[in-house]
Structure 1
Amino acid sequence: MKILLYLEAENFLANSGIGRAMIHQQHALDLMGVDWTKDPSEDYDILHLNTYGFTSWKMLHDAKKAGKKVIFHGHSTKEDFLNSFTGSNLVAPFFKMYLMHFYKRADLVITPTEYSASLIRNYGIKCPILPITNGINLAKYKKDPRKEQAFREHFHIKEGQKVVVTAALYFKRKGIDDFIKVAEQMPDVRFIWFGYQNLWTIPGWVRRIVKKNHPSNVEFPGYIKGDVFEGGMTASDAFFFPSREETEGIVVLEALASHQKVLVRDIPVYKGWLDENSASLATDVDGFVQKLRDILDEKVDKTQAGYKVAESRTIELAAQELVKAYQQTLEL
């Protein structure tokens, strides 16, 4: 069995959740000893598509013509396309129709959670739709004093200074507006937003937030990976993710794997796997501020229960489910 993994516009998407999910797929197949390629000129048994561009459509057409099986990874829905790029809300209904053209041709749709699977089912897609977590590499986010020191030195963090981090693109969907409002009410705390988005692809008001319209205790250092980011996930005092819509949220898994205190917006995607036992949840700015204060004042610590959630969604478990899905698809 050989899998053709394909991510159109891979360089553009490398720093996004989809890009990271693609890396997880490669890691998963390596763990299971399954042969894979990213080269469409090589022979393969299953085409596993991660994006929905014109080249992806041509590959889908060619694969079907050759009698190959096709799996789509349902990273995208109309719901998580809203409140993202400039004009996204205007074109979201058309984006949904466009997605359906792809999903309807698939032999299987894989999507990270039961919530995102239910959204795609409600689009009227009849092929099998299987929830499989993106997975998380627990070892990568293990506490490491060397990485933590790299984080502290990079940001010149002083002894005793409280630091809250997040990681996301500059989207309203990701809650960038509420992140700023919470920071305004907590001027004694540093807020660091890891991530980057081309500023000309987002609405002007978001662009102005990133460039200048934010309080002095908020920092936008751009996309940072490796020791500084991983050290920040364990060395900071909280991970605050106010996203309004996700298909899973890989960064949430990364925070849980880091034994970090996690605060998220209470949204449907977390139903069934993340709740008040393993993370703090709130729905508005006042709630976020109160929950963050409780975390920073050490009144709340759910890190052990949170880590157990990460353990239930490891890359090793995801790999087993992924290979099983491939084998079942070949037998269809």
Structure 2
Amino acid sequence: MSTILHVTLITEAFPPEINGVANTLGRLCDGLRLRGHRVELIRPRQSEDAGLVAADDLMLCRGWPIPGYPGLQWGQSSMHKLLRRWTRQRPDVLYIATEGPLGLSALRAARRLGIAVVSGFHTNFQQYTHEYGFGFVTRLLTHYLRWFHNRSQITVVPSLSQKMELERRGFERVELLSRGVDSQLFHPSKRSAALRESWGLSVDDIAVLHVGRLAPEKNLGLLKTSFDALQAAHPRQTLKLIIVGDGPQRTTLEQQLPNAIFCGTQRGDILATHYASGDLFVFPSLTETFGNVVLEALASGLGVIAYDQAAAAQHIRHGHNGALAMPGDEEAFIDAARWLLEESETLRRVRLNARQHASRQGWAAIIDLFERQLRSACAMSNKALPMGQLL
């Protein structure tokens, strides 16, 4: 029988926050606990934590607001607290999901105590700097991220394209840990005629859906361009743009898209109903490490249009279960969207294939692999890292 692991997860994002990182970490945490492992969580205190107290398996630290992400906190350095805590109760392995001051202090404490570390590359911060007007720090940030991740036994990434990109930039010991989807929650049977009617759509009309954070790095200007092109190509067809999510660009988008329906943030079954009530899913982002919403849309039986990278590259075969364009080629992206609406049979077939593919992408196999990677890191930690990697 395999030994039970004491795993400590360090992160700035965790449910009930709504983002891909939080969703993934919640799934990994729950999956390990279902397998009998002890999972300790260390994260900043969030606005939802009023009255929540620390416990043996939970440490809340102080934090600072993250610019552009209202309600989220950036965890402060807590090295001395972590050293005391882990000296009393030593974990077998850490999973550090974020590279800020909290993650760095956890890395340093683990190195001092000889605790194995697996790090996760969840967010393309070095790409986001361009979108937020800080392009001058991109090289410095890339250097820091490489330095940070090369001090863990293993760095896990969610997509093959991300793995290749990091290895090209000198990241070492990079392994793939993809993502799964709850194909019972996200299911075509959740389609709601009443919801579609509230959008002003009948059975044969087309709901063009987008789900995600409304932020500059998501390339959302292409939403309007694509939707306008679809309307021009199908003037007799009733189409409606449905946007689920919130963020700093919402006001701008509402001005640019006065006829779109903005549904705000949705969760759980209500989110699944919104997905299933759509027809096309338009995902123009170029900065994803994965893009959980792509799998959720496929599982909901939508015709997905995306750039050929991250989750879309792994899970969509162009013309079979979705439509792809080369990254950055906006005309090809628009052409892919047009193609899906040219023939009703094309869209029907693609949507059926999308559902069939996504229904086989469960979380169980992902969590099995994650458990093996944690055990591998424990074994590797007994071997000395090269001298150049010492803190």
Aligned residue type for 1:291: A
Q: Aligned equivalents of 1:274 and 1:255: distance in 2?
A: 11
Kindly indicate whether residue 55 of structure 2 is the aligned counterpart of residue 7 of structure 1: no
Q: Matches of residues 207-246 of structure 1 in structure 2 within 5 Å?
A: 209-214=252-257, 216-246=258-288
Q: Of the candidates 350, 357, 366, which is equivalent to residue 309 of structure 1?
A: 357
- Structure 1 vs Structure 2 CA RMSD: 2.7
Tell me if structure 1 keeps the 8 A contact 2:123–2:288.
no
Paired residue for 2:50?
none
Aligned residue type for 2:256: N
Distance 1:80 1:309, change over 3 A: farther
Q: Of the candidates 31, 35, 39, which is equivalent to residue 32 of structure 1?
A: 35
Kindly indicate whether residue 371 of structure 2 is the aligned counterpart of residue 323 of structure 1: yes
Aligned residue type for 1:183: F
TM-score, reference length from structure 2: 0.73
Q: Aligned equivalents of 1:46 and 1:29: distance in 2?
A: 13
Cα deviation for residue 125 of structure 1 reads 2.1
Q: Aligned equivalents of 1:157 and 1:19: distance in 2?
A: 33
Distance 1:101 1:93, change over 3 A: same
Q: Aligned equivalents of 1:160 and 1:121: distance in 2?
A: 47
Q: Aligned equivalents of 1:150 and 1:33: distance in 2?
A: 42
Distance 1:112 1:259, change over 3 A: same
Distance 1:194 1:5, change over 3 A: same
Tell me if structure 2 keeps the 8 A contact 1:74–1:109.
yes
Paired residue for 2:176?
131
Paired residue for 2:290?
248
Cα deviation for residue 65 of structure 1 reads 1.2
Q: Matches of residues 1-332 of structure 1 in structure 2 within 5 Å?
A: 1-8=5-12, 10=14, 14-38=17-41, 39-40=58-59, 41=85, 43-77=90-124, 80-84=127-131, 86-126=132-172, 128-145=173-190, 148=192, 151-152=195-196, 155=199, 157-187=201-231, 188-197=238-247, 199=248, 206=249, 209-214=252-257, 216-267=258-309, 270-271=312-313, 273-276=315-318, 277-283=320-326, 284-296=329-341, 297-300=343-346, 301-332=349-380
Q: Deviations over 1:46-85 (max 9, x none)?
A: 110111111111111112211111111111335643554x
Q: Deviations over 1:136-176 (max 9, x none)?
A: 1222212344x635744764644543211111222344230
Distance 1:263 1:54, change over 3 A: same
Q: Say which one has the larger Rg.
A: 2
Tell me if structure 1 keeps the 8 A contact 2:10–2:106.
no
Q: Deviations over 1:75-133 (max 9, x none)?
A: 1335643554x22433322221221231021111011112111111122123x211011
Paired residue for 2:388?
none
More relative contact order, 1 or 2 (CA 8 Å, 6+ apart): 1
Tell me if structure 2 keeps the 8 A contact 1:134–1:318.
yes
TM-score, reference length from structure 1: 0.85
Q: Aligned equivalents of 1:117 and 1:98: distance in 2?
A: 17
Cα deviation for residue 181 of structure 1 reads 1.1
Aligned residue type for 2:176: P
Higher deviation after alignment, 161-170 or 303-312: 303-312
Tell me if structure 1 keeps the 8 A contact 2:299–2:358.
yes
Distance 1:80 1:306, change over 3 A: farther
Q: Deviations over 1:228-273 (max 9, x none)?
A: 2201212211111122232221111111122222111234764454
Tell me if structure 2 keeps the 8 A contact 1:278–1:302.
yes
Aligned residue type for 2:111: K
Aligned residue type for 2:362: T
- Unaligned 5+ residue runs, structure 1? 200-205
Tell me if structure 2 keeps the 8 A contact 1:180–1:218.
no
Tell me if structure 1 keeps the 8 A contact 2:212–2:244.
yes
Q: Aligned equivalents of 1:139 and 1:31: distance in 2?
A: 19
Paired residue for 1:202?
none
Q: Aligned equivalents of 1:232 and 1:190: distance in 2?
A: 13
Percent of aligned pairs with the same amino acid: 20
Aligned residue type for 2:240: R
Secondary structure at 2:95's aligned position in 1? Answer: strand
How many residue pairs get matched?
320
Q: Aligned equivalents of 1:107 and 1:14: distance in 2?
A: 28
